[in-house]
Amino acid sequence: MINPFLKEWKTPYGTPPFNLFENSHYKPAIEETIKSASAEIKVITENPASPGFNNTIAALDRVGERLGDITSVLFNLNSAETSKELQALAQDISPILTRFSNDITMNEKLFKRVKAVYNSKDSAGHSKEELMLLEKTYRNFVLGGAGLDPDKKGRFREISEELSGLSVKFEENILDDTNLFELHITENEKLAGLPDCVIEMASIEARERKKEGWIFTLHFPSYMPFMKYSDNRDLREKIFRAYSSKAFHNDSHDNRGLSLKIANLRLELAGILGFNNFAELILGDRMADTTGKVESFLEELYAASIPAAHRDFEAFAKFAAEYGHIGNIERWDWAYYSEKLQKAKFDIDDEVLKPYFVLENIEKAIFGLATTLYGINFIPGNGIPVYHPEVKTWEVHDSDGSFLAILYTDYFPRPGKNGGAWMTSFREQRNEDGHETRPLISIVANFTRPTETRPSLLSFNEVTTFLHEFGHSLHGMLTKCTYESLSGTSVARDFVELPSQLMENYAYEKEWIGSWAVHYKTGERISNDLVEKIKASATFNEGYACNRQLGFSFLDMAWHSLTKPLSGNIDEFESAAMAKTELFPPVEGSNMSVSFGHIFGGGYAAGYYGYKWAEVLDADAFKHFKETGIFNSDTAASFRKNILEKGGTDKPIDLYLKFRGREPSIDALLERSGLK
């Protein structure tokens, strides 16, 4: 029987036939497609013609397209629908893929051709897109060890292969620890303060685990409502300590050793390539292209936010005391009293809002927003295979009826799914000799599930999360590039969050939210008064939130600005890195680094600052929408043409200038956040 990964996928739009895939198919298919890709590389290196853009750079961009399709399925499922067997496969296969990548970048004959094209770039008359691909390719070779001597190449290979497996293991440990914990309650009085819908979800969870009573987990739709509403401080402390100590228990899931090993190996890798630290290596192609620029940006924002952070904290502490809290204020008190303070101050909280935020209505409204702004339409994808019964598919078409993309939506938590929310792809867009391959995009989330008596009712934070990931999806779906390496979200890490964060702004606009939000029981439209309260509360605790995000950014930069290997207590290292942003006393046994998947398991190493950097861009960009009308078709068309369609075909600042007409200003962010 032919491996389904190696056959033509006779599915709608060439989508992955998930129903045919078995775990035993992955490794043989990857080994076979690596052989095919190696043969494609050989054709390039042995081409007797002089090195040119088309026969070297463009040809290289097309190498291993089927290999990319297979690995996209493997690693996306390892994040969204994994198992112990699949995790073991990912561990086994990751070093194989890294080895193949090293074989490419360390191929001397291939690098000689790439370098020849690069050295003649100023006189070759390349288009802007060709130049961007050429520069990206050359940089990838240099950072991939192409210029190293044989001994250093050997060590580079060892490190990069080891790192690929360590990052996968890091994420596995977090998921395993998340799934292991349960807060099992059997007495009614311990449910005090919890809304009925939260209690019902916990009852369903217990029933599924064949237990009496109620079970709360560390999955966000269970954990966060408990922290906000439970009157039982001891239980809040218990679940908080479990959440903040994931992968920090001196057991087989402990990530302390992995954090140190990953950071130290990254430092060694940077040193081999001639950099002082890993951040220097990473930042070369970013908008903030030096550690100095990143640090200056973070310090500027810190100076602007810390007074507001202290103001927020003092208001919270005062309210807690007035509410009857006695003793020290601890981290497990923050969500609880903040929710009550917001309710007292604005007469609004999630339990007031959630009845208006039915997932199906939000989905329809967000799709409708994309139709209004960009003219695109979403049609249920009939007959498209999915990897889990809960996954839905959509055909996305442009205003002229032309096909743009397939969108997969996967909304609810499962034991085999990582925490959080993300956008990813099963296939990137490319255009080869006039034949365009359109992308397959996926939104994966952990939203509140429906219950037996209620539909899926989202918190306001879940609404903004949906908008955020949908913004990434627009970047992936609307792209119109020639080369896969530049299409969609293949942009500088501190630019990639602009489309996602721009979409979040609509959650605060009554012109949008007031047009669709209706109470799931009464059918009553959300009142203007309630929408105004959402708007008024937009800056609630924003100083604290900004300061907290900056703490994560300082921690990320501390790990990746190391100039000598770190050994010893990572708790002390973390505390020092985040000290100036900390407002609460430390909690013994908790640690952020060991569950900081963005930097140790994902692609945000030396890049977490990018969320705040992109907030400057999105606040400034949305200010333009506000000035022209938040649904203004000309402004939206400009954003689509100059940002969403362009991918990485030009420098981010130049793309932004074409949209905005000027450089971004931090003032819009400070004003929106109430920090100015």
Q: Which residues contact 399 (CB under 8 A, 6 or more apart)?
A: 375, 376, 377
What is the arithmetic mean of pLDDT over 446-451?
Answer: 96
DSSP 447: P
Residue type, 31: E
Residue reference for tokens 């690098």: 111
Task: Summarize the chain as % helix, strand, coil (round to 5).
Answer: 60, 5, 35
Q: Please say which residue of 193, 209, 244 terminates a domain.
A: 244
pLDDT digits (tens, 9 = 90+) for 362-386: 999 999 999 999 999 999 999 999 9
- Report the catalytic residues: 469
For residue range 256-311, list pLDDT tens digits in order: 999 999 999 999 999 999 999 999 999 999 999 999 999 999 999 999 999 999 99
* Percent of the chain topping pLDDT 70: 100
User: Is 365 in the same domain as 514?
Assistant: yes
Cα–Cα distance between 487 and 667 in angstroms, integer?
Answer: 31
Q: Is residue 502 included in any domain, yes or no?
A: yes
pLDDT digits (tens, 9 = 90+) for 225-251: 999 999 999 999 999 999 999 999 999
What residue numbers bound the domain in which 134 lies?
4-105+107-143
What is each CA distance from 612 to 470, 499, 673, in whole angstroms?
A: 19, 13, 12
Residue at a domain's end among 244, 272, 288: 244
* 515 and 643 belong to one structural domain: yes
Kindly report, residue by residue over 649-675, the tens digit of the pLDDT.
999 999 999 999 999 999 999 999 988
d(CA 201, CA 211): 14
Q: Is residue 478 part of a domain?
A: yes
State how far the alpha carbon of 301 is from the alpha carbons of 60, 304, 311, 501, 596, in Å.
41, 5, 16, 18, 22
Let me know: does 601 contact 174? Beta carbons within 8 Å: yes
Whether residues 127 and 201 share a domain: the answer is no
Tell me the pLDDT band of 212, cut-offs 50, 70 and 90.
very high
Question: What's the rounded Cα separation, in Å, for the pair 109 and 115?
Answer: 10
Looking at the domain assignment, is residue 14 inside a domain?
Answer: yes
Confidence grade of residue 107 (pLDDT, cut at 50, 70, 90): very high
Q: Is the pLDDT of residue 413 over 80?
A: yes
Scanning 324-419, the segments in alpha helix (DSSP H) are 334-346, 350-353, 359-374
The domain total for the chain is: 3
Torsion of CA 302, 304, 306, 307, to 10 degrees: 170
Residues 86, 195 within the same domain: no
**Do 132 and 214 fall into the same domain?**
no
CA angle 143, 442, 484 (to 5 degrees): 40
Residue 164 has pLDDT above 90, yes or no: yes
Residue 166 lies in a domain: no
380: which strand partners? 394
| pTM higher than the cut 0.75 | yes
Question: d(Cα 549, Cα 556) in Å, to the nearest integer?
Answer: 11
Q: How confident is the model at residue 181, as a pLDDT?
A: 97
Task: Tell me what pLDDT residue 1 has.
Answer: 78
Res. 676: pLDDT tops 80: no
Residues 370 and 478 in one domain: yes
% of the chain surpassing 90 pLDDT: 98
Whether residue 195 is found in the same domain as residue 97:
no
483 and 393 part of one domain: yes
Compute the residue count for the chain.
676
Q: What is the largest CA-CA distance in the chain?
A: 82
Any domain includes 441 = yes
pLDDT of 426 over the 90 cut:
yes
Same domain, 66 and 191: no
- Judged by DSSP in three states, 217 sits in coil
Q: Is residue 50 part of a domain?
A: yes
pLDDT at 350: 92
pLDDT value, residue 568: 87
> What pLDDT, in 10s, does the model give residues 569-609?
999 999 999 999 999 999 999 999 999 999 999 899 999 99
CATH number of the domain within which 470 lies = 1.10.1370.40
Residue 521 lies in a domain: yes
Q: Are residues 431 and 514 in the same domain?
A: yes
Is the same domain home to 122 and 224?
no
**Do 472 and 615 lie in a common domain?**
yes
The alpha carbon of 608 is separated from its chain's Cα centroid by a whole number of angstroms, namely 10
Which residue in 269, 40, 38, 274 sits closest to 161, CA to CA? Answer: 269
Find out whether 70 and 97 touch, Cβ atoms under 8 Å.
no
300: in domain: no
Q: What pLDDT was estimated at residue 432? A: 86
Residue 25's domain is classified under what CATH number?
1.20.1050.40
Q: What is the DSSP string of 339-358?
A: HHHHHHHHS--HHHHGGG-B
Domain-ending residue, one of 229, 244, 259: 244
CA–CA distance, 194 with 113 (Å, rounded to integer): 65
Rounded CA separation 254/252 (Å): 6
Residues paired with 423 in a beta bridge: 443
